Amino acid sequence: MPGRFDVVTGIKRSGTSAMMLAAIECGIPACGFQFPVLVSSADGVHDGCIVDGPRVEELKRANPLGYWECSTIVSEGLQLKHKSYHGAIVKVLLTPLIKSNADMINRVVMMIRHPKVVFKSRQTCGDFDSELQMRLQFLTYTNNYVFACSMLRKWGKPFIIVDYNSLVRSPESEMIRVCSFLERGQPDFAHLAIDKTLNHSSPIEISGKEVDMAVELYEAMKIKDYDHIFSYNLEEIRKSYNMLYNLIQKEQEGKCRKESSRLDKESLSSEEKQVSGQVKAAV
């Protein structure tokens, strides 16, 4: 539909890049750049290019499938000013999707992946400093997926759920399903080359009610159990989120106080040594 996008969404490390790459390889026109880019135009709509060679190489190592994002969409979601991109499939993670203008969305492909694997991947990238921060992310996983599904249902936007493991294990059958949903016709598999070893990630070792809730949601989404998906109480999830967030803030404040105390002691010790040296020199 003119002026609207077909969207690939999900949380970070859920397989959105793999889906974008598969769509491109199947001949679906896509909007976005393989690696993150900087906004350089006056109107803030069109993306510029990264010229820092070493930084590009670092990004390639972090995510060899690419990123396939437009920086203005990453920051503010799909808005009317992006209409010049219409007709393309575009990647919009769940957080910016929630900020988007509903009139800019046509259909949505929602990527899911086991939360313990998602956060193992993110832990490896150094996204978390403590177990509390990790537990907070499991709550964010549940909240964002449930909220996005509820929002799309309210907006009347059709969406399809694709498990990352299924895409990697059976890319042809999954892309036939996706292309049919997007009304893009029969996919061209001539260039489809998904690496089937990409899903071999170990789950993170963590337990707790936040973890169990996210895993239960993932299992419900895999089998399209919408009654279960829409049974979550977002208000209760957000209360738990705020409680954990406050604990993390206190934890960080405690660390800052300890570090400040340590630096004060080191400074005092240094001053004492300096004074002692001056006394000895005077004698």
Which has more confidence, 204 or 101?
Answer: 101
In the block, residue with structure tokens 């832990």: 123
Q: Give the span between the Cα atoms of 219 and 204, in whole angstroms.
A: 17
pLDDT at 213: 94
Residue 90's SS3 state is strand
Please write the tens of the pLDDT for every residue from 16-53: 988 998 998 888 888 776 766 554 444 444 455 554 55
In the block, residue with structure tokens 């996204």: 127
Which has more confidence, 217 or 204?
Answer: 217
Neighbours of 66 (CB within 10 A): 19
Q: What is the mean pLDDT of the chain?
A: 80
The CATH number assigned to the domain with range 5-232 reads 3.40.50
Is it the case that residue 3 has pLDDT exceeding 80?
A: no
Give the bridge partners for 47, in sequence order.
Answer: 39
Single-letter amino acid, residue 20: M
Is it the case that residue 163 has pLDDT exceeding 90?
A: yes
Which has more confidence, 206 or 230?
Answer: 230
Backbone angles phi, psi at 60, to 5 degrees: -65, -40
